[in-house]
Amino acid sequence: MVCEENETDIDIGIPAVMLPQDAGTNLEEHIKNHSIVSVQLYSPLRPLVDVAEVFLWIMAVGTILCASYWSAWTAKELAIEQEKLLKDASDEYEIVGSGGSTGYVEISTAAAILFVVIASCFLVMLYKLMSFWFVEVLVVLFCIGGVEGLQTCLVALLSCFRYFRHAGQTFVKVPFLGAVSYLTLAVSPFCIAFAVVWAVYRRVSFAWIGQDILGIALIITVLQIVRIPNLKVGTVLLSCAFLYDIFWVFVSKWWFHESVMIVVARGDKSGEDGIPMLLKIPRLFDPWGGYSIIGFGDIILPGLLVAFSLRYDWLAKKNLRAGYFLWAMSAYGLGLLITYVALNLMDGHGQPALLYIVPFTLGTFLSLGKKRGELKLLWTKGEPERSCPHNQEDPQ
C-alpha cells in the first residue's frame, strides 16, 4: 500500500477469525480437495453473568463459613480445657499441662512475609517449567493433599454421630504413622480411591466435581490447622498477598511479556486444562465454553482473617451483631462479588481477586476495631482478656 504525503490517516480494519482446531483442520481438508467451501461468520452473545460464577461465589463463601465455624469450635473447646486446668490443677501441673500440642500452627509476622516470597518463587518455577510432566507432579501433590483434607473432614464429620464416636476415639499404632484412630483407617481407603479415580479420569467433562470436592476439603483442613494469632500478622499477610497478586497479574507483563499468574492458572504449554490448585465450574450458558475459576489463595488467605474474627467473637462471647465475624464474612462476599463484576467489565481478562477482597475484609476489620476501641487488643493479643481463677477472691 502506498500513501500520498498529503493523504490523511486512513482507519484500516483487518478482521481476524479464530476457529477451534478441529474446525480449522476440517476446513483445510476441504480446501485441499478443491471443494466449494462456504463460511458464515457468527458471533454469539455471551451472557452478562454466567450461573457458574454464582455457584463459584457460593462455594468460596460456604467453604470459609464452614472452616471458620470448625476453627472457632476447636478454639472454644481448647479454651474450656485450659480454664479447667487453671481451676483444678496445681501450679506445677499447670506448667506441665500448658506445654502440650495444640494441634494447629500459628503464623508469625516473619513467616507471613516469607510465605509470599516462597509463593513468588514457586510461581516463577511453575511458569518456567510448565510442561506436561510438571503438571503431572502437581496432580500427584494435589491428590496427596486432597486425600489428607478429605480424610480429616470426613473423620471430623462422622465423629459428630454417636455411632462413629467410639471408633473415632479408639486408636491403634501404625508403623511410620503412630497412633491412628479406627475411624481414620476406615475412611482412608475411600479417600485414596476417590483421589486416584479423579487423577485417572480428570480430563472427562465432569471431573471438575471431584477436583472441587478435594480442593474444598483441603482448604477447610488448612484453615483449621493454620491460624493467625492477631490482627497484626493478618494485616502483614494480606498486605503482602495484595501486592503479590497485583504484581504477578499486571506488573509481570513488563518483564515476561505476559501475565505470569494467568498463564500458570490456564496451564499454557502443558497440554492440560489448567493446574489442579483451583476451584472451577464450567460456564453453563456461555457459547464459548470454558470454566469460571478461583485460586486456593483467594480463599485461604482471606479465610484466615475471617476464621480469626469468629474465634475472637466466640472467646469474647459476642453475638453476631456485636462481633466481627458477620462483618468480615460479608466483606469477603462483597469483595469477591466486585471481583466478578470487574471480570465481566474487563471482557473476561483475568483479575487479581485479592485486589478487591483484601481492602474490603482488612479495611472493614481495622475500621470496626478502631471504632469499638478494641484495635490495640486485636492487633497485639488477638484474644479477649481473661481473668485468672487463682486471682479471684474466695466467695466465702
Tell me which residues are annotated as active site.
245, 298
DSSP 394: P
CA distances from 212 to 52, 61, 95, 277 (A): 13, 14, 44, 9
Residue with cell 458477620: 326
Q: Left (φ > 0), alpha (ψ -120 to 50) or beta: where does 13 sit?
A: beta
Angle value at C-alpha 155, between 180 and 306, nearest 5 degrees: 120
CB-based contacts of 152, cutoff 8 Å, min separation 6 = 217, 221, 224
Characterize the bridge pairing of strands 278-282 and 226-227: unpaired
The CA distance from 79 to 227, in Å, is 15
Find out whether 258 and 336 touch, Cβ atoms under 8 Å. Answer: no
* Cβ-proximal residues to 159 (8 Å cutoff; 6+ apart), any chain: 165, 168, 169, 183
Q: Which of 267, 285, 294 is nearest to 351 (CA)?
A: 294
How many CB atoms are closer than 10 A to CB 15? 5
